[in-house]
Amino acid sequence: MPKIFIIDDDDDLLKAQRLFLEEKGYTVETALDTEEGLRVLKSFKPDVIIADLMMEHYDSGFVFCKKVKDEPDLRSVPIIMQTAAPRELGYKFDVEDPVKREWMKVNEILTKPVPLDHLLGKIEQYLQRKK
């Protein structure tokens, strides 16, 4: 059973995504902030991580992702970032550029609100690549 970790400061979003993914057969753990997230990841080794960008601070997601990628046993775990920043601030993140992707430490960025079926498709895409 694939394992998914979701970190986001929106508790309603966490509950909705968790319920949806568990109904699809995934094991899901969640966290509301970076400190809790890093603590959970000490014992929960996910196959895919879904991270919010703006949590405690505007860049908390990037800080979290860097700390995750600094851990040898988590370095290869794909990270999908979900954020409202492109919609709310008009900022476009370019993860196609390998230099920017390396700096951001994410594999993909999705603009919130992310339709659940779209999120599921992205998760399955990254799980297929791991096989």
pLDDT, tens digit (0-9, with 9 covering 90-100), for 26-37 = 999 999 999 999
- Predicted confidence at residue 101, as pLDDT, reads 54
Residue keyed to tokens 């993860």: 95
Does pTM surpass 0.75? yes
Q: Which two tokens stand for residue 62?
A: 């990037």
User: What is the domain range of residue 97?
Assistant: 3-130
Task: Please give the Cα distance from 102 to 79 (Å, whole number).
Answer: 12
Asked whether the predicted pLDDT for residue 69 surpasses 90, the reply is yes
Query: Could you read off the pLDDT of 81-116 as tens digits, one per residue?
Result: 998 864 455 456 555 666 655 656 888 889 889 999
- Predicted confidence at residue 102, as pLDDT, reads 65
| The total number of structural domains that make up the chain | 1
In CATH, what number is assigned to the domain containing residue 24? 3.40.50.2300
Give bridge partners of residue 80 from the DSSP assignment: 50, 108
Instruction: Single out the residue of 61, 50, 45, 66 nearest to residue 108, CA to CA.
Output: 50
